[in-house]
Amino acid sequence: MRRTLVGVDLLVLGDETGVMAGALTRAGFTVATGEVPAAGADRVAAILAYRVVPSEAEPLRGAAAGGVPVLLAGDALLDLAPDSPLADDAGLLVGTGTRRHEIRVRLGPDAGELAARYGPDVVLTDTWAVPDKVADDVLQLLTANLSFADHPVCTWRPSTRIGAFTLGAAPATLHDPRYQRLVVRWVRLALGLADGPPVGVGMLGFGAIGAEHASAIAAVDGLRLAAVADANPTRQQAALAVAPDAAAYAGANELLADDAVQLVVVSTPPWTHAEEVVRALTAGRHVVVEKPFCLTVEEADAQLALAAKCRRTLAVYQNRRWDADFLALRRAVCGGLIGELFHLETFVGGYGHPCNYWHSDERVSGGAVYDWGSHYLDWVLELVPDEVAWVSATAHKRVWHDVTNADHTRVLLHFAGGVEAEFSVSDLAAVPKPKFYALGTAGAVVGDWRTERVVSRGTTGLLEEDVLAPADAPARMRLVGADGSETVLATPPALPQPFHRELADQLLTGIPMSVTPAQSRRTVAVMQAATESARAGGRPVVPQR
Ligand SMILES: NC(=O)c1ccc[n+]([C@@H]2O[C@H](COP(=O)([O-])OP(=O)(O)OC[C@H]3O[C@@H](n4cnc5c(N)ncnc54)[C@H](O)[C@@H]3O)[C@@H](O)[C@H]2O)c1
């Protein structure tokens, strides 16, 4: 029976696994699946077809003629006969499909809106239909090279309202987040939806992490550093040195009085986060807050509720999700290379005096568990999505009595399904443990710390050596098989400015970020439970749900 598609934004055909329907739904579309509706008998805004059965070709042409964009994806063009009027309307004379091979997808001459935040070439392994001829009025949005000639892989023909994206036949392509993002942007382009002007960013606090945000904002299309507020005039000057066009203020109230600021990056010390986030959300701004999100679950819940009420984006800067060594570990664990993960340890530290700055003052930082744990426990919780049944922590205060952070803390997490994880942070570890130690039912991954040196010549020609702290270099990742065999895992390069790209995408196109504040709330719940447990001598504490 034909479904009634009243009020539906997007009809998706032939997406058997529902992967693309899911991606488009997350990006804000109302998606229906089913048959091609009769032309004019619905309110479908666009049709995305991953297959075209012969009986649908004419209704699709009719829909396009009636003003509904028709987007042919994956193998859909190859479903059509070479002389098909639908392919003709697409402006493409379809040749043959290629064999499965690595395809380097590049921006085409007419990329337009697809060019925003594209980054390095998207590389996919798939088959594709190489057009023998392309009509002059077809916009070539994306291209790929075959036999030393560029051919369109993604097109849009405004005169007929038909486009083609000839990639997406392979399941791996459909699951690739960068492919999904391109499809969303292609659909938006066909619907005439543009990104809108750049989002004005105001930074509250321009300390050690300030330059990282400023350079990412400058590099990412759709973000613009409009203003900086810092109580310290020297830090205001440091901000103006890298962003001379930004306004400079002393505090949050002046920053929030500036209409050019639509998003606030809260990068003040941790104990101020909750108050400053609430202040910015209440003033109608989107917010990025530095890690740790905040110090208590109650604070996290209040911020999440307020962001939902105000319909504003709230994001936590979990930038280490894209660390190369963690990406290698995640790829190995999620790819089943060690079987079922059941034991995971992470460690950071060494033997040395902690810094005499707020990081070492637990009233400001929340303690060492918060300072590093907001990254390391975030990694643990990303790898083990199961519910945390209880947390137990022990802390030692033995040597560094001039600072308030514990000298050595061990946090044990016990998950409902039996998986165990441990995070240790230490300033008393003369011998460091590996950064990562993951045991699975079929093997293990070990991440060994590296001590790297930057070697150069000084102005007088003498050798100069800069020794990096171990935490400043990605760990060397070893995959160890059940038979003892060892493989060094490649550490995949991440996209440049991955967090800020996702942020701009979410704000400007609705494509959701991969890091969510709900995930960071879970990390805060574990850190809070660990702090409570350590005060109680290691008593198991159930993190707040
Ligand atoms: N994600 C990361 O990898 C990473 C790395 C470093 C720091 N951080 C986080 O970033 C935040 C800031 O750390 P940092 O190292 O830049 O600290 P910092 O002490 O170097 O800088 C903080 C700045 O905030 C200013 N400030 C403090 N309170 C203020 C207020 N109420 N109004 C205006 N300005 C105020 C200070 O003058 C200072 O310049 C912390 O939450 C920290 O945990 C994250």
Q: What percent of the chain is predicted at pLDDT more than 90?
A: 91
279 lines ligand 1 (CB under 6 A): no
3-state secondary structure of 462: coil
81 band by pLDDT with thresholds 50, 70 and 90: confident
CATH hierarchy code of domain 9-190: 3.40.50.880
CB 517 within 8 Å of CB 300: yes
Q: Where in the chain is the domain with CATH 3.30.360.10?
A: 321-535
Nearest CA to ligand 1 atom 21: 207
Q: How many CA atoms lie within 13 A of 282 on its CB side?
A: 10
206 lines ligand 1 (CB under 6 A): yes
For ligand 1, the distance from its centroid to the CA atom of residue 273, given in whole angstroms, is 10
5 band by pLDDT with thresholds 50, 70 and 90: very low
Nearest CA to ligand 1 atom 20: 207
Cut 0.85: pTM above it:
yes
pLDDT value for 38: 62
CATH architecture of 321-535: 2-Layer Sandwich (3.30)
Residue type for position 132: D
| Pocket-testing residue among 234, 235, 290, 295, ligand 1, by greatest number of atoms within 8 A of Cβ | 290
Mean pLDDT score across all residues of the chain: 95
CB atoms within 10 A of CB 58: 13
For ligand 1, the distance from its centroid to the CA atom of residue 253, given in whole angstroms, is 17
pLDDT value for 42: 62
pLDDT at 530 over 60: yes
189 band by pLDDT with thresholds 50, 70 and 90: very high
229 lines ligand 1 (CB under 6 A): yes
pLDDT value for 1: 34
**pLDDT tens per residue, range 340-364:** 999 999 999 999 999 999 999 999 9
Q: Where in the chain is the domain with CATH 3.40.50.880?
A: 9-190
39 band by pLDDT with thresholds 50, 70 and 90: low
pLDDT at 60 over 50: yes
**pLDDT tens per residue, range 457-506:** 999 999 999 998 888 889 999 999 999 999 999 988 778 999 999 999 99
Please give the structure tokens belonging to residue 40.
């004019």
For ligand 1, the distance from its centroid to the CA atom of residue 272, given in whole angstroms, is 10
pLDDT value for 510: 93
For ligand 1, the distance from its centroid to the CA atom of residue 359, given in whole angstroms, is 10
pLDDT at 35 over 90: no
Residues in the chain: 545
Residue scoring higher pLDDT (216 or 83)? 216
The arithmetic mean of pLDDT across residues 203-221, rounded, is 97
pLDDT at 161 over 80: yes
373 lines ligand 1 (CB under 6 A): no
Q: What percent of the chain is predicted at pLDDT more than 70?
A: 98
pLDDT at 7 over 70: no
For ligand 1, the distance from its centroid to the CA atom of residue 341, given in whole angstroms, is 36
**pLDDT tens per residue, range 291-328:** 999 999 999 999 999 999 999 999 999 999 999 999 99
2 band by pLDDT with thresholds 50, 70 and 90: very low
pLDDT at 95 over 90: no
End-to-end Cα, the chain, rounded Å = 44
451 band by pLDDT with thresholds 50, 70 and 90: confident
pLDDT at 85 over 90: yes
The domain made up of 199-319 is a member of CATH 3.40.50.720: yes
Nearest CA to ligand 1 atom 19: 207
Q: How many CA atoms lie within 13 A of 194 on its CB side?
A: 5
Please give the structure tokens belonging to residue 544.
């707040």
37 band by pLDDT with thresholds 50, 70 and 90: confident
Nearest CA to ligand 1 atom 17: 207
- For the chain, the helix, strand and coil percentages under 3-state DSSP, each to the nearest 5: 30, 30, 40
Nearest CA to ligand 1 atom 25: 205
pLDDT value for 4: 43
CA distance 465 to 446: 28
205 lines ligand 1 (CB under 6 A): yes
Which residues does residue 483 pair with via DSSP β-bridges, in sequence order?
none
Q: What are φ and ψ of residue 534, in 5° steps?
A: -60, -40
Please give the structure tokens belonging to residue 396.
């030692």
CB atoms within 10 A of CB 38: 12
CA distance 239 to 194: 31
CA distance 219 to 81: 45
Which is the closest atom of ligand 1 to the Cα of 365? 43
| DSSP class per residue in 19-47 | HHHHHHHHTT--EEESSPPPTTSS---EE
471 lines ligand 1 (CB under 6 A): no
| Pocket-testing residue among 267, 364, 500, ligand 1, by greatest number of atoms within 8 A of Cβ | 267
pLDDT value for 536: 98
Between the alpha carbon of residue 317 and those of residues 169, 268, 422, 499, the distances in Å are: 35, 13, 23, 7
CB 447 within 8 Å of CB 480: no
140 lines ligand 1 (CB under 6 A): no
For ligand 1, the distance from its centroid to the CA atom of residue 209, given in whole angstroms, is 7
365 lines ligand 1 (CB under 6 A): no
CB 332 within 8 Å of CB 488: no
502 lines ligand 1 (CB under 6 A): no
Q: Where in the chain is the domain with CATH 3.40.50.720?
A: 199-319
355 lines ligand 1 (CB under 6 A): no
For ligand 1, the distance from its centroid to the CA atom of residue 211, given in whole angstroms, is 11
pLDDT value for 17: 93
